[in-house]
Chain A
């Protein structure tokens, strides 16, 4: 072992305060075998060459470099070590500039402090381990959970760059929420049409061979970590071969069973065989086994008889469990809306003419229960419509946050009602108005300038009281002039808060994702890394991370795709930095304290051997577990107790 100390003068920035000769003399006394050399500007090209040559010529294998902050140049000098054929971890930097020379008024005190720091660094570097970074093979394929706008855009972007993508979608259709909307704010583009090019490319585009789309499927198990996950996917039987079905729909009319249509929020009925809605993609019918009489023992096969394609119906279709190897997982399972019946004064669930926003989207849609005609359940077009914003949002009794899209959806509704029922009067009741962005204000101004439309602010949602009998509903509400009024409305549309999707906790548990206070998936960092979860290799996008519009969801999906593309490159190995924790298996007592303290869930417990084990792909090297282990058997590489204690002895000597 030969230790060399390289003392950088940094022009005069360091030597102005620290006397290099004195440091050398005092160090020589303490460590006669340690070599000492000064250099002018170690980080310059010439300086780096000098350091490399010095290491080689003098046969130095461990280096202490006294210079600037390791936060600036630790990697620079590790590079010198590497190029000189030395292990880069056999190096210790002393921050002589930022933390001594620049902050110490007195020259003698600064020189003393430098000697202490160098003493500590020499003691420490002699204990350093020859650490090596590891190279792991990776699988570049990606799993995407949820085929809404976010998931689809992510999938297509990845496939376009040649990646294999597996999309797991729970329902029989792709497109998520927006395929249910006739029009989308801010530009009133048709929802399904806007997504059609992406969906078309996913299904039949030039890269569709690289996309495995699994509808009616859910992930049920995940093992492994970044670079190498094994996922288990359960796919429910469709009873129709989607590759053979030509989507003609001949089978639906003969089907004798009608059942509530969940896609239209049970506002109408559908057959046991059929599409979720006209134009749904993939363009293939499916059988609902809960409704179909064949599954109740009858021998009906009217659908099959009507089908013009041989072999499209597969009555003995079975649930399948598939296993796939992927390197990264993108979670994009979207959101739902808050249950308005939790605010009883609004009459939701009690009066049929009180709708929530997603139900009303279906009423507006040409593929919905009324084929896009706005009419009450009695069949009449409404004369007076109330639209209530902020239902359950910005409300400490319900959801604290602003759901960010409801005002815009409300003005979209206003626009469409005005267009389709020009005689209708509309009143918006809002707590706050939120219409950010460069295009979003148009629909708001339109409502504001419309003489048949009123906007009234309320203070608390309890001020709105819906009552009535039969079709006639009335609402007691503030009138905007400080008093309360009662008005008859024939339709009330509630715009509830966006809340995490039903499966958020379930999917979160499978992937060990944490949820924030409101239940949305926790992102790595709200400003810098909102498309990453806190689990390495698991990306997030769309409304499962935070409420937002389609633009935000798609952008976040693109960001996730970018992170995956740059992190997992086919043919490139995953480089694992060696500054990690490791458990001494022979001495671990199995107390599991470390399992709970690790912020990355990198430590798992082996119940058979009754010991804990650190996953080096997940460990970020913070050292929290090292400090927490009650029996002190976790070693933190490069920051071991021994190394730190040697440093303590050095600075106090």
Chain B
């Protein structure tokens, strides 16, 4: 049986979550492995929540934000992007390869892009195999 990775996806309400809805409205089919958690803004995604996801059994984490300049709250996505660099270092310390955590941008209109990002993420994490935390 092929390995089915478990992935947690943090989506901001205004762009990326709306992009996911757009993919839905267009009935684009994508793998069911990404479990979406809606937050108001990508700025809310605390590194703690990412670590928690891995500890709770996630093999991968996906953080999706509004494109630069498009954040509903002006600059939450800039905070998220700069925090992401720190996050990746933090993951290294816990022995979690950074390829397991993807930060990207999806707009409200990019349904197709959303399903593509989901597909790619699932395949990338699938290729890495299950995460084994020491």
The residues of A with any CB-CB pair to B shorter than 8 Å are 69-71, 95, 97-100, 102-106, 109-110, 112-113, 116-117, 120, 534, 579, 597, 599-600, 620-624, 626-628, 632, 636, 639, 641, 644-645, 647-649, 651-652
Contacts and interface: CB of A to CB of B under 8 A. Distances in A.
Nearest to B36: A99
B21 A649 contact: no
A247 B24 CA distance: 71
Interface stretch (B71-79, B90-98, B99-107): B71-79
Contact of B24 (A98, A632, A645, A647): A98
Nearest to B83: A627
Nearest to A98: B24
Given A71-B18, A622-B44, A627-B46, 19 more contacts: A95-B21, A103-B27, A103-B30, A113-B32, A117-B35, A534-B74, A599-B74, A600-B74, A622-B76, A623-B40, A624-B44, A627-B47, A636-B44, A644-B37, A648-B53, A649-B56, A651-B8, A651-B35, A652-B58
A632 B27 CA distance: 40
Interface in B12-46: 13, 17-18, 20-21, 23-25, 27-30, 32, 35-41, 43-46
Interface in B85-134: 115
Nearest to A108: B32
Contact of B41 (A99, A104, A623): A623
B72 to A, nearest CB: 8
B38 A70 contact: yes
Contacts of A95: 21, 24, 36
Contact of B56 (A100, A106, A652): A652
Contact of B48 (A99, A120, A622, A632): A632
B41 A624 contact: yes
Most buried by A among B44, B75, B79: B44
13 contacts: A69-B21, A69-B24, A98-B21, A98-B24, A103-B30, A113-B32, A622-B40, A622-B76, A624-B43, A627-B83, A636-B44, A641-B46, A644-B49
Contacts of B13: 71
Contacts of B72: 622
Contacts of A98: 20-21, 23-25
Given A627-B83, A648-B56, A620 B27 contact: no
A648 B44 contact: no
Given A71-B13, A622-B76, A627 B43 contact: yes
A118 B108 CA distance: 25
A632 B46 CA distance: 10
A636 B24 CA distance: 29
Contacts of B17: 71
B52 A100 contact: no
A210 to B, nearest CB: 35
A361 B25 CA distance: 58
A641 B46 CA distance: 9
Contacts of A648: 8, 37, 49, 52-53, 56, 58
A112 B39 CA distance: 23
Shortest beta-carbon contacts, A-B, top 8 = A98-B24, A623-B44, A624-B43, A651-B35, A622-B73, A627-B46, A622-B41, A599-B74
Contacts of A651: 8, 35, 37
Interface residues of B, number: 43
B29 to A, nearest CB: 5
A99 B20 contact: yes
B82 to A, nearest CB: 10
Contacts of B25: 98, 102
Given A636-B44, A648-B8, A116 B76 contact: no
Contacts of B53: 648, 652
Contacts of B21: 69, 71, 95, 98-99
B101 to A, nearest CB: 14
Interface centre among B29, B32, B39, B46 (most CB of A within 10 A): B32
A100 B32 contact: yes
Contact of A597 (B8, B52, B79): B79
A539 to B, nearest CB: 17
Contacts of B75: 599
> Which of B6, B18, B21, B83 has the most chain A CB atoms inside 10 A of its CB?
B21
Nearest to B26: A102
A109 B24 contact: no
Contacts of A620: 73
Nearest to A104: B32
Interface string B61-85: 0000000000111111001000100
Given A103-B29, A105-B29, A624 B73 contact: yes
A502 B66 CA distance: 35
Nearest to A70: B38
Max chain B Cβ within 10 angstroms of own Cβ: one of A98, A120, A624 = A624
B6 A103 contact: no
A651 B34 CA distance: 9
A623 B46 CA distance: 9
Contacts of B41: 622-624
A343 B130 CA distance: 65
Contacts of A622: 40-41, 43-44, 72-73, 76
A599 B32 contact: no
A639 B17 CA distance: 15
A214 B130 CA distance: 71
